[in-house]
């Protein structure tokens, strides 16, 4: 089993030194969902939420969240992201909004946390914008589904 990298031999928290790593092309994709009442989904699709366009605002919030990851998650490196894409898709059959975030860069460390943060912030934004009509929404299944680059190679979730 791999060892935890954010602790020194005395158990103190440390930021991993990535200075000796080669800069490589890296990508990470994360996904998650916001489950809601059918009426809430219909309201979002009709553009009837009083706070504005839920999908557009959540998309922008997700992008901003990825860029602010080192401010939110201790020990994350500040990264020069080359691309952040956040997609939100309505699935009225469940009813849910499915969120996918893809982050890219050429650098010395991966972008998994940025992709996961983008999905989380987008999902929280959906909740915030719709909570007045549906407090029972659930944010669920936030997970890394793909990463590539660096010495650990490619990861694809089952």
Task: Catalytic residue, from 8, 17, 128, 134: name it.
Answer: 128
Residue 128 annotated in active site: yes
Residue spans of alpha helices (H) in the chain: 38-45, 54-67, 69-72, 112-130
- Minimal CA–CA distance to 110: which of 133, 72, 76? 76
* Cα angle value 125/129/130 (rounded, 5°): 115
Residue keyed to tokens 């990508």: 27
- Backbone dihedral angles phi then psi of residue 29, each to the nearest 5 degrees: -125, 130
19 three-state secondary structure = coil
- Minimal CA–CA distance to 127: which of 42, 65, 66, 57? 57
Please list the active-site residues. 128
């Amino acid at each position: 089993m791999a060892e935890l990298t954010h602790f020194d031999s005395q158990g103190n928290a440390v930021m991993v030194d990535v200075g000796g790593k080669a800069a490589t092309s890296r990508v990470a994709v994360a996904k998650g969902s916001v489950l809601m009442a059918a009426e809430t989904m219909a309201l979002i699709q009709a553009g009837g939420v009083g706070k504005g366009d839920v999908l557009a605002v959540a998309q922008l919030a997700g992008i901003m969240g990825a860029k602010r990851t080192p401010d939110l998650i201790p020990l994350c490196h500040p990264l020069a992201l080359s691309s952040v894409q956040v997609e939100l898709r309505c699935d009225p059959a469940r009813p849910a909004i499915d969120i996918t975030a893809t982050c890219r860069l050429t650098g010395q460390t991966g972008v998994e946390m940025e992709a996961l943060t983008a999905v989380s912030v987008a999902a929280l934004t959906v909740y915030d914008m719709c909570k007045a009509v549906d407090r029972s929404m659930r944010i669920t299944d936030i997970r890394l589904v793909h990463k590539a680059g660096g010495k650990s190679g490619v990861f694809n979730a089952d």
